[in-house]
Amino acid sequence: MNQEVSISYRAVKSKIYKLIDALVEGEKDEAEVQESIRRWWKMVRPDDRAVAEKYLLMVLNKSNASLLAIRDGIHNDEFELRPEHLARIGNRLPAA
């Protein structure tokens, strides 16, 4: 029996924030987060995928904008950001 997930903006946001939190807290690594999102996507009904993709992109864009705002907000003379700290910030291609 296939399990299906509810698609709402709130449900998508909750899923993404839980994955981000798990990565930040060290509970999951990047590969585990990628596998989790793949499993989640497989549970989304094909008829709901367009809406799920729209919500997913909205959440990811807002999350990225938030992280960049935080980074830019602390980038001043009082707080030194070294290149090794910025290595994972910004856009990158997803792992194959």
**pTM (2 decimals)?**
0.73
Mean pLDDT on 70-88: 71
- % residues pLDDT > 70 (the chain): 76
Q: Is residue 64 part of a domain?
A: yes
Q: Is residue 95 part of a domain?
A: no
Mean pLDDT on 11-17: 96
Q: Is residue 53 part of a domain?
A: yes
Q: What is the pLDDT of residues 57-66, one digit of tens each?
A: 999 999 999 9
Q: Is residue 94 part of a domain?
A: no
- % residues pLDDT > 90 (the chain): 65
Range of the domain at 39: 9-86
pLDDT tier for residue 89 given thresholds of 50, 70 and 90: very low
**C-alpha to C-alpha distance for 60 and 26, rounded to whole angstroms:** 20
Q: Is residue 96 part of a domain?
A: no
Q: Is residue 4 part of a domain?
A: no
Please state the domain count of the chain. Answer: 1
**C-alpha to C-alpha distance for 80 and 92, rounded to whole angstroms:** 23
Long-range contacts of 57-64 (CB under 8 A, 24+ apart): 58/9, 59/9, 59/12, 59/13, 59/16, 59/17, 60/16, 63/16, 63/17, 63/20, 64/91
